[in-house]
Chain A
Amino acid sequence: MDKPFNFQVDVRDLQILALSLFLTIGLTQGFDFTIHPNQILTAIVVTLITQYLANRFLKRQETAALISRSALITALGLSLLLRSTSLIVIAIAACCAILSKFLIRYRGKHLFNPANFGIIAVLCFTEQAWISPGQWGDSFSLALLFVGIGGVILSWLGRWETTIVFLIVYALGIAFRNLWLGFEVDILWHELTSGSLLVFAFFMLSDPRSIPDHPLARVIWSSAIALLTLILKYQFFLATAPFWALFFLSILTPWLDSVWQGKQFNWKTTTYSWGENNHETAKL
């Protein structure tokens, strides 16, 4: 008991665990994801290699980690959302996702959520990719799982308002539409428990490295995304509306950051000591 046992926790480890859990559920619990383990492997390998090479040659780092947490998160996010029958398309998406972090930047931040960028890139430029918005269905227990785990991670990150505001504005939008159309309440419920919507809201929308820095800016930004999602979904009948809304409105982030300046987000790792009460948090 002389030496306290220390272990470090990075919130991204939790994210990786959570996304892996969802992927496992999707693959094994009869959800019939049209995804093959090869595709997941491709996404992981390509994101890791791209990240490594970009660190070495674009960022000119002398030494770069082989396993990058954020690249893994991007790979898992792509695997959860993107569907294709071609490994090449998956590889292109993974590569574009990571490169967008290095090439499309402003003030030291990347402009787009990497997985979102990768998905939009292959949706636009290949004929062989799609998203299955219905893949999770509207199960209440799954919704609870997504909200529970997502909530823990977001409160740890301190970026929960982005997701909450998005969901509130989106829910209000649907509620008003339902009221106007005379739909029953269960339609609202059906829409809000959509697994795909919740995964998007908790695990893609709130990427702390690309969203606006100031809380007020984030509230405005995510409200705008929710509104654009509603418009694309109900006026343009676009089933993949949230991804397009996030993509287009990410372009506003630099402007929002210039109007409301906030503290830029940095990943932290928390060291816990076994048997001691204190823990310390370090910036990465």
Chain B
Amino acid sequence: MKQLNFKSILIAITVIATFIFNTPAASAFCGFYVSQADGSLYNQASQVIIARDGNRTVLTMANDYQGEPKDFALVVPVPVVLKQEQVQVQTPEIIKRIDNFSAPRLVEYFDDNPCQTQRRTLNDSAPRPEGAQQAPKAPPSDDALGVTVEEQFDVGEYSIVILSATESQGLETWLQNNNYNIPDGASELLQPYILQNLKFFVAKVNLEDYNPEEFTNLRPLQMAYESRRFMLPIRLGTLNAQGNQDLLVYILSPKGQAELTNYRTVKIPSDVDIPVYIKEEEIFPEFYQSMFKNSWEEQNGKAAFLEYAWDMGSCDPCSARPLNPEELKQAGVFWDDSSVFITRLHLRYNRDLYPEDLRFQETPNRKFFQGRYIIRHPYRGEADCPEAKDYYQKVYNRQQRNAKNLADLTGWDLEEIKQAMDFVEIENKQSSPWWQRIFD
């Protein structure tokens, strides 16, 4: 009996559109990026880059498979038969780069001395990029009946076959006979793809060529094809997943923002002031995870969150340097036009919430959006002018509001938040009215 070590699978067909872009709305904030909540936060996270223009698609699936290479199997329904030239391995760095570039970010500002009339805002920053995630793997099956091997080739550390099948049980049997590690019950999920005339991209690790010293992880697989379908199959991935899975989809298009057409796409709460200790105690990732979970629950889990939508030529503030042309190429950008609009969608899904595969469309919407959270440091120097009193009162009120913001966003306990905060000293400090403890 095979072990079901493999994770899920993803696939996709997509569309992208390119588009030229009016460059940076550079005037904006002077806050710098100090922290980010990137894809490495989530346990069962898959990351997929879809570069699409018209019907042409380049799909890159990150691979975070942690098990034995011999147990790895990936099955991805694809719309057309892929030839060897259409498939390659890509450096894992590119996923990391895109993740870091588009991750939700924390920015900070410092208040000026209230006793100096000229007000300026200073900023500080401390970028701290982080890691990437992978796509799940695929199921095996067992009968050879009705299965045609359309193409067979090796790419990097992978052995790949492109199969077409007439019958799902046959496909499952074929996969199992050929030592692909596929969970039981896969045939039921494979059948709809067979009937819709999709082909199967099936990969396992080529153990002869794989040198574990060379790569710590399996590299992302990248494939290019042409199809009207702009979708990402997630159903196979739900087969043996426990609980919810996170999926980050980066859609690169020359045209504008992409969105789901069969589920809702909503913006993650953004541009919110939160307390300074989120940065000082380095708990921005925890903050973001709590906030994401909270927002996800508010939507009953039935929405994909937009975390970033921006022209790739710019960023403000930047959480990572924009990708250079070479990196864009690695990410799958194939159109000449230098304009690339990125949409980062974050889904947390399971079989019940997302019974259907994801379908996308690109839109001409070029509005920028980013998950951005702000901290403002109070002035901590000497200030004993008459204006100072007023200033500290304002800061105190602001801190109260920020505490409330944080509690609302994350569901954390307001009293605990306040205890963690370093409130400024004010005269006549009114402790909050006694009834607020229960009425808030």
Contact = CB atoms under 8 A, between A and B. Distances in A.
A31 interface: yes
Give the interface centre of A84, A136, A237 by most chain B CB atoms within 10 Å.
A237
Contact of B264 (A34, A136, A191): A136
Interface stretch (A1-9, A122-130, A263-271): A122-130
Contact of B302 (A84, A135, A137, A191): A137
B152 interface: no
A239 B264 contact: no
Given A134-B262, A237-B229, A182 B365 contact: no
A186 interface: yes
A135 B355 contact: no
Contacts of B120: none
A133 B259 CA distance: 10
B155 interface: no
A83 B365 contact: yes
B322 to A, nearest CB: 23
A239 B192 contact: no
A108 B260 CA distance: 41
B188 interface: yes
Interface in B357-408: 359, 361, 363-367
Contact of B367 (A85, A137, A138, A182): A85
A30 interface: yes
Contact of B266 (A30, A83, A127): A30
A190 B355 contact: yes
Interface residues of B, number: 33
Nearest to B304: A134
B200 to A, nearest CB: 16
A129 B264 CA distance: 18
A32 B397 CA distance: 30
B364 A135 contact: no
Contact of A182 (B192, B263, B298, B302): B192
Nearest to A239: B261
Contacts of B366: 85
Nearest to A187: B355
Contacts of A261: none
B118 interface: no
Nearest to A188: B355
A184 interface: yes
Interface in B64-121: none
- Of the candidates A134, A135, A181, the one having the most CB atoms from chain B within 10 angstroms of its own CB is A134
A61 interface: no
A279 B168 CA distance: 64
B166 interface: no
Interface in A34-81: 34
Contact of A85 (B298, B299, B352, B364): B364
A214 B424 CA distance: 75
Contacts of A134: 259-265
A156 interface: no
Nearest to A237: B228
A128 to B, nearest CB: 5
A223 B58 CA distance: 38
Given A130-B361, A132-B259, A134-B259, A31 B355 contact: no
A83 B364 CA distance: 10
Contact of B303 (A85, A127, A137, A187): A137
Interface string A192-224: 001000000000000000000000000000000
Interface string A89-131: 0000000000000000000000000000000000000011110
A32 B365 contact: no
Contacts of B289: none
B267 interface: yes
B365 A181 contact: no
B230 interface: yes
Contact of A30 (B192, B298, B365, B367): B298
A180 B299 CA distance: 32
Given A139-B302, A237-B229, A130 B364 contact: yes
Nearest to A180: B195
Contacts of A137: 263-264, 302-303
A85 B257 CA distance: 12
B356 A187 contact: yes
Interface in B301-350: 302-303
Contact of B195 (A32, A34, A181): A181
B265 A32 contact: yes
Which of B196, B229, B361 gathers the greatest number of chain A CB atoms within 10 Å? B361
A238 B188 CA distance: 26
Nearest to B305: A32
Contacts of A85: 364-367
Q: Which of B188, B264, B266 has the most CB of A within 10 A?
A: B264
A130 B364 CA distance: 7
A183 B266 contact: no
A186 B262 CA distance: 14
B191 interface: yes
B364 A128 contact: yes
A236 B15 CA distance: 13
Contacts of B302: 137-139
Contacts of A139: 300, 302
Given A30-B298, A31-B266, A32-B267, 15 more contacts: A30-B299, A34-B365, A83-B363, A85-B364, A85-B367, A132-B259, A132-B261, A134-B264, A135-B264, A136-B264, A182-B188, A190-B355, A191-B262, A239-B261, A239-B361
29 contacts: A30-B299, A32-B264, A32-B266, A32-B267, A34-B365, A83-B363, A84-B364, A85-B365, A85-B366, A129-B364, A130-B361, A130-B363, A132-B259, A132-B261, A134-B260, A134-B263, A134-B264, A135-B264, A137-B302, A137-B303, A138-B263, A139-B300, A181-B191, A181-B192, A184-B355, A187-B355, A190-B355, A191-B262, A191-B356
Interface of A: 30-32, 34, 83-85, 127-130, 132-139, 180-184, 186-187, 190-191, 194, 236-237, 239
Q: Which 10 residue pairs spanning A and B have beta carbons closest together?
A: A239-B261, A181-B192, A137-B264, A32-B266, A130-B363, A133-B261, A186-B355, A182-B191, A134-B260, A237-B228
